[in-house]
């Protein structure tokens, strides 16, 4: 049996995963990251996953944040559980510039993401989570390799910035398997093939 490939990403109403200010412009998304719905969604994302696949930027950013949450006894228990999972999980970090993996239990990949994910699907068990890395999710959408998408819709219009779903993707059909709305208008959606 092959492993399921899942992807997690937060988007604005206009389909942006970051704002017009570049990779650090998360202003339209960040205020929704700690809502009850977002935390429940976060738990769903990792609970069946055994491998986290990350781009270099996210891997380095996550390393500066999540290990401290894992060690913080006062952190929200859901955040702490995710942080502990991320620290302990097998991680594949895609980079053309790193010479050593930035995390424990991580290995570097410098090959097309579709090839690496196909190899991962045929070995091991548990879900493979493409964790908030649009640079990896996009080529997997193009190669038609995603089985599940966890999408958090933040009720803001960024007005600029890159979109996840660009023209030229292969046509595909998805089934909504879970939805939850939050008090701020955020939506947590799970789509399966």
Residue at 61 is within a domain: yes
How many independent structural domains does the chain possess? 1
User: Per residue in 33-62, is it b (16+ CB within 10 Å) or e — as a string?
Assistant: eebebbbebbebbbeebbbbbbbbebbebb
**Residue 177 maps to a domain:** no
Q: What is the mean pLDDT of residues 175-186?
A: 97
Domain assignment present for 129: yes
Q: Which residues pair with 107 in a beta bridge?
A: 92
**Phi/psi-derived region of residue 82, left when phi > 0, alpha when psi is between -120 and 50, beta in every other case:** alpha
pLDDT tens track for 45-97? 999 999 999 999 888 888 889 999 999 999 999 999 999 999 999 999 999 99
Whether 49 is covered by a domain: the verdict is yes
Grade residue 2 by pLDDT with cuts at 50, 70 and 90: confident
Any idea what the CATH number is for the domain that residue 54 is in?
Answer: 3.40.430.10
Domain of residue 93 covers 5-165
Structural domain contains residue 186: no
pLDDT per residue over 106-152, tens digit each?
Answer: 999 999 999 999 999 999 899 999 999 999 999 999 999 999 999 99
């Amino acid at each position: 049996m092959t492993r399921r490939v899942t992807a997690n990403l937060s988007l604005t109403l206009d389909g942006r995963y970051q704002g017009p200010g570049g990779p650090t412009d998360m202003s339209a998304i960040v205020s929704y990251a700690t809502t009850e719905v977002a935390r429940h969604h976060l738990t769903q994302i990792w609970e069946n996953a055994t491998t986290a696949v990350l781009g270099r930027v996210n891997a380095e950013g996550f390393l500066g944040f999540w290990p401290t949450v894992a060690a913080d006894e006062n952190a929200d228990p859901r955040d702490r559980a995710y942080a502990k999972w991320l620290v302990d999980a097998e991680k594949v970090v895609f980079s053309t510039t790193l010479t050593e993996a930035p995390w424990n239990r991580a290995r570097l990949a410098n090959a097309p993401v579709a090839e690496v994910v196909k190899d991962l699907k045929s070995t091991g068990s548990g879900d493979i989570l493409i964790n908030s890395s649009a640079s990896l999710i996009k080529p997997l959408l193009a190669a038609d390799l995603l089985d599940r998408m966890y999408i958090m819709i933040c009720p803001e219009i960024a007005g600029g910035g890159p979109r996840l779903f660009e023209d030229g993707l292969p046509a595909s059909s998805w089934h909504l398997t879970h939805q939850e709305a939050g008090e701020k208008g955020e939506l947590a959606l799970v789509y399966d093939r």
